[in-house]
Structure 1
Amino acid sequence: MKTEIYHADTIKEAAKQIQAGQLIAFPTETVYGLGADATNETAVKQVYIAKGRPSDNPLIVHVANVETVEKYAQPLSEKTRLLMKTFWPGPLTIILQLKPGALSKSVTGGLTTAAFRNPRNQTTLDLIREAGVPIVGPSANTSGKPSPTEAKHVYHDLHGKIAGILDDGPTQIGVESTVLDMSGDVPTVLRPGGVSEEKLEAVIGTVRSDHHKVGKNEVPKAPGMKYKHYAPNAQVLIVADEQWPEALKWAAEQTSPVGVMTTKQVSSQNEIPANGEWFSLGDDVQSASHNLFAGLRHFDTESSVAYILAQKFDKLGLGEAYMNRLEKSAGQQYFQTPKQ
């Protein structure tokens, strides 16, 4: 299969592919998603096949408006409507109870709930409207690998497996949306992301957090709760600010190249060894979140490092989302000062 590249001026052609049951990757403000008609079960199943994604890992349904959500979900609560009014379009995914039989089990992972999102990307909103159907959209990558923040990342993983990629340049935020479960009694954040818990609480009051790793026989309500995510080929080690001198000394002693991902400030205060390959995370946690997946992919596709040293941030605001992704990519592995 040839994978076509589409742009804003060829959205109609991309939409026709969606209507025909084909897979089209699309941009959002967070990462690129792999799109298929959410009402076409055969097309949805192809998403799992193309990604190598476990079938009990539910998909996020992307919509162009609230009216589409109302077509499939149970009546929306006042808090849910307030969230949509405040944060949509934007990086907030909301899990809702569905009307019986509204969407296939291929979309929901067999649950009675589904996750909905209204992305803040005009090109993709135009695609959804042109296709005339809601579009499922997990990250457009090989399952378990770092999420794609540019069209070239999608092409690297999925060319020949999907019909096309709608290219709208690099994404803005770089880490996926916040997933908020509104299907129960207490609003619960299942995945931190572009909308912080503080911002959510300012709108609807108290929210709970549940980022636990679900059990072997448990179906996750949100992506990233059960299976390995965001992992490059090299082993990632998370480094705290005060550990950089020791970490870089350790790196210099390695016989193979070592990737180093830090802000400009950390790199200016420390000497990168001759065998160290530096990738800039920018100036702060916001730029670091934007550049994280791009950096991991850089070392996957353009380097041969065995280890990647990556900068730790405090788990505050966007830092919580950054660290959530970084800890998963590292398998929770932090740099440990070698014993003397």
Structure 2
Amino acid sequence: MSDAASRDISSAAAALEAGDLVAFPTETVYGLGADAENPEAVAKIYAAKGRPQDHPVIVHVAPGADLDYWTTDVPDEARELVKHFWPGPLTLILKRNAHIPDAVSGGQDTVGIRCPSHPVAMELLKAFKGGKGGVAAPSANKFGNVSPTTAQHVRDEFGDDPRLAAILDGGSSQVGIESTILDLSRLGTHGPVLLRPGHITAMQIATVIGILVAQPDQAAPRASGTLESHYAPKAPVALLPTGDIEKTLAELKLRGRSAALIHYTPFPDAQPNVALPAEPKGYAYGVYAALRAMDQQQVDLILVEAPPTDDAWLGVNDRLRRAAFGSTGIIERFLKT
């Protein structure tokens, strides 16, 4: 790491210790960070994002962090998952230790915790409080908007917001969608529960701990990024099967409606468009940037070629479903007017 980059990280760590906000890259998306043990600093995250107070944030910790400092009743399964997947895109929901402020958990008795693998994030976490602190950090965007995967996306969201002391630029996020969230806080009664799918799959988790992962239940803890409508650009989003796209584009054009297309099979006549890789990791890497780019075209509608539905695409489909949730029936309405 260059001397300039080291100075930037030292300055950002000092800003966090002073109670300010810092945006930083992780392997998933960019985070908007504050000292997790400073409720006034965490409150700045909620104010800057316009985030509901009962919507928890994830605490990011340095490699080798003491899990027992942040959580209690830690099951062996959690320690095995940490051993296999940290640093990496896996968030564990565990019982919050009593001295950890509930500002990070939306008032719940649980806390989400993970160790990111991006080198800039790891260096920042090592520098912050000598590696003993935790940084509360949801995605660095206004609440409900498309998550940022570059430093420029963060600038586009927050501009000159005085609450943001620094933006660390670590290039494009390598994974591109948020971490897998696994609830282990009720292991004895509900087993492991997958609250949000991501890069680390349910099958990978089951292989490590020897227990199949359950789907969310109504009593599951609230977790970051799990509201029905989320990750949405300004333009409405609609998912369509491959075979319906050309006809729909033509019908929208006849009715004077403009549409952008995000796709993975060839549609040479579609303009504007973004073509993404036809495999889940490459697609996930580019999907948020594609949504942002097509939103800048100021179209009436963003059409997305619906991805495959097998398990490898579960995280991508989860994000696209939430992005399109508020636009249900939009194509039919456009074609009737």
After TM superposition, the score normalised by the length of structure 2 is: 0.89
- Contact 2:307–2:317, Cα closer than 8 Å, also in 1: yes
The change in CA–CA distance for 1:316 and 1:206 in structure 2 (over 3 A counts) is: farther
What's the counterpart of residue 165 of structure 1?
167
The change in CA–CA distance for 1:104 and 1:203 in structure 2 (over 3 A counts) is: same
What's the counterpart of residue 294 of structure 1?
289
Q: Distance in 2 between matches of 1:66 and 1:110?
A: 27
What's the counterpart of residue 54 of structure 2?
56
Question: How far 1:209 sits from its partner (Å)?
Answer: 3.7
Q: Percent of pairs identical after alignment?
A: 34
Paired amino acid for 2:196: R
Question: How far 1:122 sits from its partner (Å)?
Answer: 1.4
Question: How far 1:71 sits from its partner (Å)?
Answer: 0.9
What's the counterpart of residue 307 of structure 2?
313
What's the counterpart of residue 193 of structure 1?
198
- Contact 2:34–2:45, Cα closer than 8 Å, also in 1: yes
Q: Distance in 2 between matches of 1:228 and 1:183?
A: 25
Q: Distance in 1 between matches of 2:298 and 2:216?
A: 32
Question: How far 1:110 sits from its partner (Å)?
Answer: 0.7
SS at match of 1:18: helix
- Give the unaligned 5+ runs of structure 2: none
- Contact 2:110–2:221, Cα closer than 8 Å, also in 1: no
Q: Distance in 2 between matches of 1:233 and 1:193?
A: 24
Q: 1:179 aligns with which of 178, 181, 197?
A: 181
Residues 103-142 of structure 1 correspond to what in structure 2 (within 5 A)? 103-132=100-129, 133-142=133-142
Residues 16-31 of structure 1 correspond to what in structure 2 (within 5 A)? 16-31=14-29
SS at match of 1:67: coil
Paired amino acid for 1:130: A
Deviations 1:234-284 (A, max 9, x none): 111101122223233234324243110012xx12xx3424xx311121342
- Give the unaligned 5+ runs of structure 1: 1-5
Q: Distance in 2 between matches of 1:168 and 1:334?
A: 39
Q: Distance in 1 between matches of 2:137 and 2:26?
A: 10
Paired amino acid for 2:12: A
Question: How far 1:335 sits from its partner (Å)?
Answer: 8.2
Q: Distance in 2 between matches of 1:175 and 1:228?
A: 16
Which shifted more, 321-330 or 311-320? 311-320
SS at match of 1:34: strand
SS at match of 1:145: coil
Question: How far 1:220 sits from its partner (Å)?
Answer: 5.0
Q: CA RMSD in A?
A: 2.2
- Contact 1:189–1:207, Cα closer than 8 Å, also in 2: no
Paired amino acid for 2:280: V
What's the counterpart of residue 146 of structure 1?
146
The change in CA–CA distance for 1:94 and 1:199 in structure 2 (over 3 A counts) is: same
Which shifted more, 178-187 or 254-263? 254-263
Question: How far 1:285 sits from its partner (Å)?
Answer: 2.3
SS at match of 1:128: helix
After TM superposition, the score normalised by the length of structure 1 is: 0.88
- Contact 1:92–1:195, Cα closer than 8 Å, also in 2: yes
Q: Distance in 2 between matches of 1:331 and 1:271?
A: 28
The change in CA–CA distance for 1:145 and 1:329 in structure 2 (over 3 A counts) is: same
SS at match of 1:103: coil
